[in-house]
A and B are shown apart, each in its own frame.
Chain A
Amino acid sequence: MSQLFHRNTNIYSRLSIVAILAFLGFLGWVVAMLYMSGYHTGQADFVEQPIQFSHAHHVGGMGIDCRYCHTSVEDSSFANIPPTKTCMNCHSQIWTNAPILEPVRASFRDGTPLRWTRVHDLPDFVYFNHGIHVRKGVGCATCHGRVDQMPLVYQNANLMMSWCLDCHRNPEKYVRPREEVFNMAYERPADQPNLGADLVKEYKIGTVDQLTSCSTCHR
C-alpha cells in the first residue's frame, strides 16, 4: 500500500518537538514581559489631569518645597493633595486670568472640589505610610523620581511588591540623611553601603524581619 506520509515528514515531526517547546517558552516570555511592563503596572504612563499642573515649573523652576502643598507628608499616611485654597494663595495674585487656571478659580468660586487622577495608585489592600518613610530617610525622589523635572507627573517606579521588598529587605541601599529627603537632586554617594548602614542604625530603622512582616503593609 502507498506510503501515508512523505518521507521527510520525519524531519518535520522531529522539528515540531523542538518548535513546540520553543513556542511555549516564547509565550511565557511574552506574558512575563507584559506583566512587568508599564502596560500592566502603569509605569511611566501619561495621566490625564483636570489641570496641566507642572511640577517641573513649580518645584524645579520656582523651587517650592514639597511640603508647601503636600502638607501632611510628614505626619500622616497620606501626603495630601492641596486644597484649592493653596493654589489660590498665589493665583489670586498672579496669572489671575490665565485660562488654564479657570478650573481652579471655578472650584474656589462655587466650592466644587477639583478631581485629580491618582498617579501613584497602590492596590487598596496595601497600606503605605508617607510619614514614617520620610522620617526614616527615604527621599521623595527615591520612589517618585525627579518630579522637579516632570512637566506632568508620571509613575516613576513599577510599584510591584518585589520593588517594595527590594528596599524593605535592604534599606541601607536607599536611605539618605533626613535633611536630604526633600532634596530632589540628591545623588546617592559612592559610599552608600557604609552610609546607609550607619543611617539604618542611627534612624533605628526596623529589622528586616519587621520590615518584611506581612502585616507591616497588609491588614
Chain B
Amino acid sequence: MESTPARASGYKPPPPVIEPGHTFESVTSKISSVVLTKYQPVGWIITTLIAFMFLNLMIVSVSYLFLKGIGIWGNNVPVGWAFDIINFVWWIGIGHAGTLISAILLLLKQDWRTSINRFAEAMTLFAVACALMFPLIHTGRPWLAAYWLLPYPNGMGIWPQFRSPLIWDVFAVSTYGTVSALFWYTGLIPDLATFRDRAKHRVTRMIYGALALGWRGSARHWQRYENAYLLLAGMSTPLVLSVHTVVSFDFSIGIIPGWHTTIFPPYFVAGAIYAGFAMVLTLAIPLRRMFNFEDFITMRHLENMAKITLVTGLIVFYGYLTEVFFAYYSANQYEKYMIINRMTGPYAWSYWMLIFCNGLVPQTLWIKRLRTNPFWLFIMSLIVSIGMWLERFVIIVTSLHRDFLPSSWGMYYPTFWDFSTFFGTIGFFTTLMFLFVRVLPMISIFEVRTLLPQSKIEGAEGH
C-alpha cells in the first residue's frame, strides 16, 4: 500500500512540513491536550459565546420566517432570489476546500495537507450544513418541499419534476454531504482511539471508545483503514467538481441574461475552491495562534494555501473577463445590456467591489513577504470571502433586477431579516467549528506522526 506520503520510500520533505524537535509523544500530547483539558483559551470562550448569540439570532429569524413567509425578506418580482440563494451558493462554495484538501491532495501525495485536512473537512461539513438550510427555508414553507420532493407515501400519483436543476441540487448536495461526513469520520477513527486511551474520566473514555468503533491499531485495522480511506478519497474527488457544477446549473439552465452562460460550471468550481481555501486560512490562522499550533500548521502550509488561493483567484478573475467578452461577442442586446448594467447600473458598486476583492487583492500574493505574513493572509482571506459573496450577489441580483421587459424592471433592497439570517448562519457555522475543536482532534494526530523523521524508521503504526 504505497498511499500515505510517509510510506513513500526515499521521500525527503525539503523543508519539514512541521517544525523539528517533535516526538510521537509530544505530538500526541500537544494535540490531544487541547481537548482533554479543563481549561480553555479565553479567545475560545469569547468567540464561542459571540457565535452562539448569532446562532440564536438565526433561530429567531427562521422561526419568524416560517410564521410570516418570505415577505419578511426583500425578495420581490423581478428579484425572486436574493440573500437566500446567495448564501446557499456561498456556503456550498466554502464547503469545497475540505474535501479537496483531504481527497485530491491525498491522491496527489501532498503531505503538507495532513495537519490541516482534519478541520478543513469539519469546516466542509458545517458549511454544507449551513448551505443545506437555505434551499429548505427559502420557500418559507419547508414542510411542503420535504413531502413534494420525497413523495412517499405517494398519495398523489405524481412525481417531482426531474428536469429542474433544483432537484439535481438536492441529490448533488446531499450526496456530497454524506460522503464528506463518512470521509471525515473514517479519518477520525484512529485519533478517537488515541483519545479513548488518553482520556482520564471513565465516561469520556466510554464515549470516545464507542466512537472509535473498537479500533486497536492492528495491522489488519490499518490495512482496512487505508483501503477505505483511499476509496472514499476516490469517491469524493469527482464530487468536489460535480457539486458546484450542478449548483451552477441552477443559473445556467435559466434564460436570464447573466445566468444563461456556458462558462458557469468551471468558473463556479474554481470560485468554490478559491472561497474554500480563503475560509481555511480564515480559520487556521487564529486557531494555530490560539492553541500554539504554529509547529504543526507552519508557514509552509499557509504559503501553499496562499498559492492555491492565488491560482484559483486568477481563474475566477479570468471568468469575469470572459463574461464581459461573451456579452460583447454574443451581439445579443440583452447580454450586452446586462454587463453594462452591472458596470454602470444601480448595483455597479457591487460589481466593482467584486473586482477589487477577487481580482486585485489576491494579486498581492505574488509578493513572498505578504504571502508569508499570517496577518495579511488573514485579512486577505476575509476580503476574498466577502468578494465571493459579492460575486453571487452580482450574478443573482443584478441579473434579475433588469431582465427583458423594461416595464418590469425593479430594485432589491435587503431587510433586517435578510441580514439576520445570513449572520445567523455564520454564527451557526462558527459555533459548530469551535465546539468541534473542543471535543475532537482538530489536527490528525496519527497522520502528523507520520511526518516525523522517526516514522521513517518505525513505520506509521499506532502504538
Could you list which residues of chain A lie within 8 angstroms of chain B, going by C-beta atoms?
1, 4-5, 9-10, 13, 28, 31-32, 35-36, 160-162, 165-166
CA of A32 to CA of B155 in the docked complex: distance in angstroms?
Answer: 9
Residues in B181-208 with C-beta less than 8 Å from chain A: 196-197, 205-206
Please determine whether A161 and B213 come into contact, CB atoms closer than 8 angstroms.
Answer: no
Please determine whether B157 and A9 come into contact, CB atoms closer than 8 angstroms.
Answer: no
What is the total of A-B residue contacts with beta carbons within 8 Å?
36
Q: Is B154 an interface residue (CB 8 A)?
A: yes
Q: Is B209 an interface residue (CB 8 A)?
A: yes
Please determine whether B156 and A32 come into contact, CB atoms closer than 8 angstroms.
Answer: no
Q: Is B219 an interface residue (CB 8 A)?
A: no
Q: Is B152 an interface residue (CB 8 A)?
A: yes
Please determine whether A162 and B209 come into contact, CB atoms closer than 8 angstroms.
Answer: no
Q: In the assembled complex, which residues on chain B have CB atoms less than 8 Å from the CB atom of A10?
A: 214
Which chain B residue lies CB-closest to A33? B153
Q: In the assembled complex, which residues on chain A have CB atoms less than 8 Å from the CB atom of B214?
A: 5, 9-10, 13
Which chain B residue lies CB-closest to A169? B157
Contact of A5 among B158, B197, B209 (CB under 8 A): B209
CA of A31 to CA of B152 in the docked complex: distance in angstroms?
Answer: 9
CA of A160 to CA of B151 in the docked complex: distance in angstroms?
Answer: 13
Contact of A4 among B153, B157, B205 (CB under 8 A): B205
Q: Is the interface of A mostly helix, strand, loop or mixed?
A: helix
6 A-B pairs besides A32-B152, A36-B155 with CB distance below 8 A are A35-B153, A162-B154, A162-B156, A162-B157, A165-B156, A165-B158
Please determine whether A160 and B156 come into contact, CB atoms closer than 8 angstroms.
Answer: yes
Report the interface size class on chain B.
Answer: 10 to 19
Which chain B residue lies CB-closest to A31? B153
CA of A22 to CA of B299 in the docked complex: distance in angstroms?
Answer: 50
- On whether A162 and B155 interact (CB within 8 A), knowing A4-B196, A13-B214, the answer reads yes
CA of A10 to CA of B214 in the docked complex: distance in angstroms?
Answer: 8
Residues in B73-87 with C-beta less than 8 Å from chain A: none
Residues in B53-94 with C-beta less than 8 Å from chain A: none
Please determine whether A165 and B157 come into contact, CB atoms closer than 8 angstroms.
Answer: yes
Please determine whether B206 and A161 come into contact, CB atoms closer than 8 angstroms.
Answer: no
Q: In the assembled complex, which residues on chain B have CB atoms less than 8 Å from the CB atom of A160?
A: 155-157
Residues in B113-159 with C-beta less than 8 Å from chain A: 152-158
Please determine whether A4 and B206 come into contact, CB atoms closer than 8 angstroms.
Answer: yes
CA of A160 to CA of B154 in the docked complex: distance in angstroms?
Answer: 10
Q: In the assembled complex, which residues on chain A have CB atoms less than 8 Å from the CB atom of B156?
A: 160-162, 165
CB distance from A64 to the nearest CB of B (A): 35
- On whether A161 and B158 interact (CB within 8 A), knowing A5-B214, A9-B214, A13-B214, the answer reads yes
Counting chain B CB atoms within 10 Å of each CB, the highest count among A4, A13, A35, A161 belongs to A4
CA of A160 to CA of B155 in the docked complex: distance in angstroms?
Answer: 6
